[in-house]
Every structure is written in C-alpha cells, then in structure tokens.
Amino acid sequence: MLTTLATAAPYWHGGGFPFFVFPAFFFLAFLVVFLVFGVFRRGSWRALSDARSVLADRFARGEIGAEEYRARRSELSRK
C-alpha cells in the first residue's frame, strides 16, 4: 500500500509546492486592498455622515424648514 501511494502521489511526501495556501493568499490580498481603500476613503464617508446628522439635528430643532432640509439633503446625496 505504501509503495502504491508513493508512486501515485509523489508530492505528498515532502515534494512540490503546497497549493492549498493559494486561497489564503487571495484572502489576505483582498483584505489588504479592502483595508487600504477603506482607510483612504474613511474621511469622506465620515464627513458626509456628519453633515447629514448636523442637517437632521437642525431640522429636528426647527432651525430650518422642510423645504430647506430636503434641498440640502438632496445636495448632500449628489456628492
């Protein structure tokens, strides 16, 4: 049995490249790309979110009317 296994699958006994690590490489590459682009774009996402929350707070306090709120919100969504 051992002789048959050794001749049928020579890479199982210390030879060849371990191809099972390729999915891990792809996952790590995807993770690095996701994190890099997330860090670079985080500032713009946070600024837009803060602007919307400030606008919603002003509307809730009654500082601006419904028409002005809708107009400014649609302007923020275009960016």
Question: Taking residues 55-73, what's their average pLDDT?
Answer: 91
Do 55 and 73 meet the contact criterion of CB atoms below 8 Å apart? yes
pLDDT value at residue 39: 64
Compute the half-sphere exposure of residue 65: CA atoms within 13 Å on the CB side of its CA. Answer: 2
Do 13 and 6 meet the contact criterion of CB atoms below 8 Å apart? yes
Instruction: State what percent of residues in the chain have pLDDT above 90.
Output: 20
- pLDDT grade for 67, boundaries at 50, 70 and 90: very high
Question: Taking residues 46-52, what's their average pLDDT?
Answer: 70
Q: Tell me: the pLDDT tens digits for 19-39?
A: 777 888 889 999 888 877 776
pLDDT value at residue 78: 76
Query: For residue 9, what is the DSSP state?
Result: -
Do 76 and 55 meet the contact criterion of CB atoms below 8 Å apart? yes
Domain residue extents for the chain: 43-79
